[in-house]
């Protein structure tokens, strides 16, 4: 647990201004994202039944919040970690047309998060998923979707500036693409987070490709579950991975700042390969996995975009608790209180 207190930090907006700005950012961003990617809004579950394989396992070690349902013979339900797999099921069940998709407001509880300026046990994000054709399972297509999302980010930044001229736009014109293998070769003696820090400080907006597979250093840059993003397929540049993270430079915390995790999703081949790699091949019998292997789901691309993260970045806040209501340890409450950081 740690809390970074920037020198001489003072929030640009007061609490009332912040609340209005949060609504403005969320309304504008989701409407523009939906228009840019042709997404329909759908209603999402807060919990799913345990044992179906629908819940996001994140890195495979985080514990979901669970409870038993009296009128279902004490069947166990889990609060979602995210809707990474549920969305793909909905593409099929809603009979979404090719080149269209869906998005939803996802609210989750992650009790195993290490709490700091960026991480809360409460997670809110836009989860989105879009149908792609088999021939679109390419690095170029992934980059094209990232670029379109980045354009929405820049438009949102300008709208914030129009309402609050004291918050100057800082995003560069273009987002920089780099693979985790390339980044490792540039900084082989640094840890993954330190590599991210270096490249994002230099380019200010980066899409880091290929997260989940082992790279030259002998381990993955970061963890990814084996059953949604495709991180094992070799691409046209000779590297592996059709997924990645959108990272920007946070001038308040002076650090790399993740806004989104996304990727082209596994097909049958990639799913079986990645389950084998992670020694979880028995999961192919679960509801989600068996339906995918039977060909019931379309090919897709999707991801999550942090709502509080977005607001925190655009409003130049030092702590995520300034833009969302959550629970914090006494140490963080005390440090923030002494420094004038007002947590909701």
Is 73 a residue of the active site? no
For the chain, the structural domain boundaries read 15-338
Is 144 a residue of the active site? no
Is 155 a residue of the active site? no
Is 56 a residue of the active site? yes
Are the beta carbons of 88 and 101 closer than 8 angstroms?
A: no
* pLDDT at position 3: 84
Are the beta carbons of 243 and 230 closer than 8 angstroms?
A: yes
Q: Would you say residue 253 has pLDDT above 70?
A: yes
Catalytic residue among 88, 110, 309, 316: 110
Task: Please state the rounded mean pLDDT for residues 74-80.
Answer: 89
Rounded to 5°, the CA angle 252-255-256 comes to 125
* pLDDT at position 1: 55
* pLDDT at position 60: 63
* pLDDT at position 236: 80
Helix (H, G, I), strand (E, B) or coil at 72: helix
11-64, pLDDT tens digit by residue? 999 999 999 999 999 999 999 999 999 999 999 888 988 888 777 777 667 788
d(CA 192, CA 342) in angstroms, rounded, equals 31
* pLDDT at position 59: 65
271-285, pLDDT tens digit by residue? 999 999 999 999 999
112-157, pLDDT tens digit by residue? 888 889 999 999 999 999 999 999 999 999 999 999 999 999 999 9
Catalytic residue among 125, 197, 300, 324: 125
Domain 15-338 belongs to what architecture?
2-Layer Sandwich (3.30)
Is 214 a residue of the active site? no
d(CA 229, CA 264) in angstroms, rounded, equals 6
pTM equals 0.91
Residue 154 host element (H or E): helix 139-163
* pLDDT at position 102: 96
* pLDDT at position 237: 80
* pLDDT at position 282: 93
Catalytic residue among 260, 261, 308, 324: 261
d(CA 223, CA 20) in angstroms, rounded, equals 36
* pLDDT at position 79: 87
Q: Which residues contact 307 (CB under 8 A, 6 or more apart)?
A: 26, 105, 124, 125, 126
């Amino acid at each position: 647990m740690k809390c970074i207190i920037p020198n001489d930090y003072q929030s640009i907006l007061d609490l009332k201004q912040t609340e209005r700005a949060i609504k403005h950012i969320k309304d504008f961003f989701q409407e523009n994202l939906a228009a840019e990617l042709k997404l329909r809004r759908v209603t999402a579950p807060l919990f799913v039944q345990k044992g179906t394989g629908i819940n996001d396992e994140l890195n495979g070690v985080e514990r979901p919040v669970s409870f038993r349902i009296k009128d279902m013979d004490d069947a166990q339900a889990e609060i979602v970690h995210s809707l990474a797999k549920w969305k793909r099921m909905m593409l099929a069940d809603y009979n979404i047309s090719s080149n269209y998709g869906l998005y939803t407001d996802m609210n989750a509880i992650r009790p195993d998060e290490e709490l700091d300026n960026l991480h809360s046990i409460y997670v809110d994000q836009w989860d989105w998923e879009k149908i792609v054709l088999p021939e679109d399972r390419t690095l170029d297509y992934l980059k094209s979707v990232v670029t379109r999302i980045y354009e929405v980010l820049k438009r949102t930044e300008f709208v914030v500036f129009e309402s609050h001229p004291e918050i100057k736009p800082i995003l560069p014109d273009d987002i920089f693409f780099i693979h985790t293998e390339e980044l490792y070769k540039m900084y082989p003696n640094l840890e993954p987070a330190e590599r991210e820090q270096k490249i994002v400080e230099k380019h200010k907006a980066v899409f880091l490709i290929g997260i989940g597979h082992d790279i030259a250093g002998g381990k993955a840059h970061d963890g990814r579950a084996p059953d949604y993003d495709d991180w094992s397929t070799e691409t046209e540049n000779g590297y592996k991975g059709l997924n990645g993270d959108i990272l920007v430079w946070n001038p308040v915390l002076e650090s790399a700042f993740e806004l989104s995790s996304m990727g082209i999703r596994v097909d049958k081949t990639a799913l079986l390969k990645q389950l084998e790699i992670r020694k979880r091949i028995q999961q192919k019998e679960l509801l989600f996995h068996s339906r995918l292997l039977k060909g019931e789901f379309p090919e897709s691309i999707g991801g999550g975009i942090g709502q509080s993260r977005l607001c925190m970045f655009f409003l130049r806040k030092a702590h995520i608790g300034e833009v969302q209501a959550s629970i914090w340890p006494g140490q963080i409450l005390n440090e923030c209180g002494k420094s004038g950081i007002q947590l909701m």
